[in-house]
Amino acid sequence: MTRQKPTYEQLLARDTQYREQIRKLKEEVNILRKSFLPEENYYKDRFYRITENVNDIVYRLSLPECRYEYVSPQLKELFGYEPDEFYNSPLIVRKIIHPDFFKYFIEHWKQLIKGEAPEFYEIKILRKDGEIRWVQQKNLIIRNDAGKPVAIEGIVTDITDRKLTEEALIESEVQKKAILNNLPHLAWLKDCEGKYLSVNESFASSVNRSVEEIIGKTDYDIYPEQIAQRCREEDLKIILTQKHLFIEDETDGKWFETFKAPIFDSNNNVIGITGIALEITKRKANEEEIKNYSEKLAIQNVKLKLINDELKAAKEKAEESDKLKSAFLANMSHEIRTPMNAILGFATLIRNRVLPEEKRKDYIDLINANCRQLLHIITDIIDISKIEAGQISVFNKNFNLNKVMNELYLNYKNQIEVKGKPIDLIMKTGLRNEESSLYTDKVRLEQIISNLLANAVKFTERGKIEFGYFIDRRRDIIFFVKDTGIGMTREEQEVIFERFRQASSSYNKLYGGTGLGLSISKGLAERLGGKIWVESEIDRGSSFFFRMPYKPGIPVERPKEIDYTVNYNWKGRSILIAEDEEANYNLLETVLSPTRAIIRWAKTGAEAISICEDDPSIDIVLMDIKMPDLNGLEATKKIKSINKKMPIIAQTAYAMSTDEDECLRAGCDDYIPKPLRIDDLLSKINKYFNKNKVTESKSKKEIITS
């Protein structure tokens, strides 16, 4: 016969009920013992009434006769046997004892006779129908006055339900332990004093101890004081607040994610703390790696955004630059064709028509003026190209700054008068003439100030233009050009120095020009170690400033002014023109013919060397730099090796300051750029002829003296 297994709650309720019955029964046992004293019948009757109203089996076994004097009727329900079967055959009890416990049963009775048996013992039995039950026995040995055992009195209680409950509890605990011990989490239970009541294997392993070594210990026995103190503070917070706590912290280089919660009794009082923790060191490392990677991605995203913004700005700037360059090219075409139209037109008129001398001279002046304008345009294009390519070089020299400023004043004073504009040109200098020597690139400085003055004249219809320089407290020299012209808006001031910017402006349609002057000036100013800026107000004029380091130079003697009215007579002098272009040679021959000098022509560098070797009468060489066979620089070096005293003047279309320096290093005595300024060329040749006269007269004196 198989019974249905009771639930855990039913078993627990029954166990509580049985324990209460056992307690009451113990109280009655003391009364039962009196049944064998005087007034025996009274107590026997009472004994019977009590035993019949309890669930336990009560018995008395007489030892001398080995017979049961009494067994209570509940015996049949528990053992399945009738009471008479026990009265008739006391040894039937052996059939009831489960074979696994028979030895234990015999041993218990031996100890009982000796008075050494425990008060209670539990044993497994077999009912008559074969069902296995659990019972608890309480036996008492009865002795006579001589101390001899005469009987055994006992109570047998069915504890099957309780044992099933205990087995269920044990099985539950085993399962819980199995679960907890197989978790990667650290699990524990503490009392309010901080003592560990239970821990799993993972917890014990984490502190290198066994479970038994931890039970009853506190955090102060396991961890360093600082960590233990922190754990205790967390526990106290849970006890006081009666709320759970979630913690993520580091211990001994390991990261843990911990959940702690209070344990309550039936009266809702906190009686302990339970906790569970999971090591998350790898996860934290991964999170940190992900965080770092995310930060890197964020930085990359920012960089990408910046790059995209830069690309977008560059695209917009490129598109704008493309428009500006297109406008610039269109304007260049106009600016170049305009003077070319005048040059070709007036040249055709002079060739094909008989004109009055005065008109002919006017036309020639116009051709010259338009040539200079065209040359200025070409120079601007070359300069802006060099600035963009970073090929602008600086050649510092000593020069008189006030002289340069005065020349600029005279030049632009003349331009204002020619244009017929009612403008006062005012020059202010910050140094006296004798102390105004400056050491910097004269050509580039003059170019910057000239560009600023040209703009001032162009955009000013009336009023005044003031220019000059001063030395500030920082010992910088500051140049300025101020005008009362049309001025600029704030937006125009921000872009005025950009390349090609003015080319798209409506100003060039009204005023003309390439629009490159200020961009070139900015590039040159920066190359000289300075800075250029503008202050302007619309319809009130503009003020341009250029600051650069002040480097005083060595005073330079002022050369004698050139007399352009001189008619040169170089009869007996021989001039070699090294020039591969016939048109250029014809120009020079035409210019030099009135001087009555002997003119020879070399079409290549090698031919020039040959003539100088064969003809010692050559007095001076006009050397073109770009020639076939052998260029002018190599030819100059060779001629100088033959005759060191031979004057050589380089005349070339390479007109940058670097070209002049290169010519002088090659051995040329002087330099003049194309297009040639005739008066300058004649003056330079005459200078070297005069030097030769002095040398010759000295030589004659030395001969006479000797």
Question: What pLDDT does residue 48 have?
Answer: 58
Query: Would you say the CATH fold of 183-279 matches that of 8-166?
Result: yes
Judge contact between 261 and 273, C-beta under 8 A: yes
Helical spans, DSSP H, in 353-441: 357-389, 401-419
What is the third-level CATH fold of 8-166?
A: Beta-Lactamase (3.30.450)
Mean pLDDT confidence for 446-457: 91
How confident is the model over 268-302, as pLDDT tens digits? Answer: 888 889 888 888 888 888 878 888 888 888 888 88
Mean pLDDT confidence for 218-244: 91
Share the mean pLDDT of the chain.
81
Q: Is the pLDDT of residue 431 over 90?
A: yes
Q: Is 94 exposed, middle or buried (0-12, 13-18, 19+ CB in 10 A)?
A: exposed
Question: What pLDDT does residue 26 have?
Answer: 62
Q: How far apart are CA 396 and CA 529, in angstroms?
A: 12
Neighbours of 381 (CB within 10 A): 16
Mean pLDDT confidence for 149-164: 85
The rounded percent of the chain whose pLDDT value lies above 90 is: 24
Mean pLDDT confidence for 545-567: 71
Q: How far apart are CA 151 and CA 138, in angstroms?
A: 14
Torsion, CA 288, CA 290, CA 292, CA 298, rounded to 10: -150
Q: Which of 383-392, 558-567, 583-592 has the lowest mean pLDDT?
A: 558-567
Q: How confident is the model at residue 147 (pLDDT cuts 50, 70, 90)?
A: confident
Q: How far apart are CA 692 and CA 694, in angstroms?
A: 5
Q: Is the pLDDT of residue 607 over 80?
A: yes
DSSP 189-220: EEETTS-EEEE-HHHHHHTT--HHHHTT--HH
Q: How far apart are CA 257 and CA 278, in angstroms?
A: 5
Helix axes 357-389, 281-352, angle to 10 degrees: 170
Q: Which of 190-199, 254-263, 478-487, 498-507 has the lowest mean pLDDT?
A: 498-507
Neighbours of 133 (CB within 10 A): 19
Helices and strands (H and E) in the chain: how many = 23, 22
**574-705 belongs to which homologous superfamily?**
Response regulator (3.40.50.2300)
Please report, for the chain, the start and end positions of each structural domain, with discontinuous segments joined by +: 8-166, 183-279, 392-549, 574-705
Specify the 3-state DSSP secondary structure of 119. Answer: coil
Ramachandran class of 373: left when φ > 0, alpha when ψ lies in -120 to 50, beta otherwise: alpha
The CATH code for residues 183-279 is: 3.30.450.20
Q: Which of 267, 279, 276, 258 is nearest to 189 (CA)?
A: 276
Class of domain 392-549: alpha beta
Question: What pLDDT does residue 701 have?
Answer: 44
- CA 78 to chain CA mean position, Å: 86
Q: Is the pLDDT of residue 575 over 80?
A: yes
Q: Is the pLDDT of residue 543 over 90?
A: yes
How confident is the model over 309-353, as pLDDT tens digits? Answer: 888 888 887 777 677 676 666 666 666 777 787 788 888 888 877
Q: Is the pLDDT of residue 227 over 80?
A: yes
Q: Is the pLDDT of residue 449 over 70?
A: yes
Mean pLDDT confidence for 580-595: 88
Q: How confident is the model at residue 538 (pLDDT cuts 50, 70, 90)?
A: very high
Question: What pLDDT does residue 506 have?
Answer: 47
Q: For the chain, how are helix, strand and coil distributed in percent, rounded to 5?
A: 55, 20, 25
Tokens 């040359």, residue?
375
Question: What pLDDT does residue 1 have?
Answer: 46
How confident is the model over 472-497, as pLDDT tens digits? Answer: 988 999 999 999 999 999 888 888 88
Mean pLDDT confidence for 141-156: 86
Tokens found for residue 547 = 């600051």
Question: What pLDDT does residue 699 have?
Answer: 46
> How much is the pTM?
0.44
Strands 437-440 and 541-549: unpaired
Judge contact between 650 and 668, C-beta under 8 A: yes
> Using CA of residue 488, residue 489, residue 494, residue 495, what is the dihedral sign?
negative
Torsion, CA 639, CA 644, CA 647, CA 648, rounded to 10: 30
Mean pLDDT confidence for 130-140: 88
Mean pLDDT confidence for 618-644: 89
Torsion, CA 597, CA 602, CA 607, CA 608, rounded to 10: 50
Q: Is the pLDDT of residue 32 over 60?
A: no
Tokens found for residue 161 = 């339900």
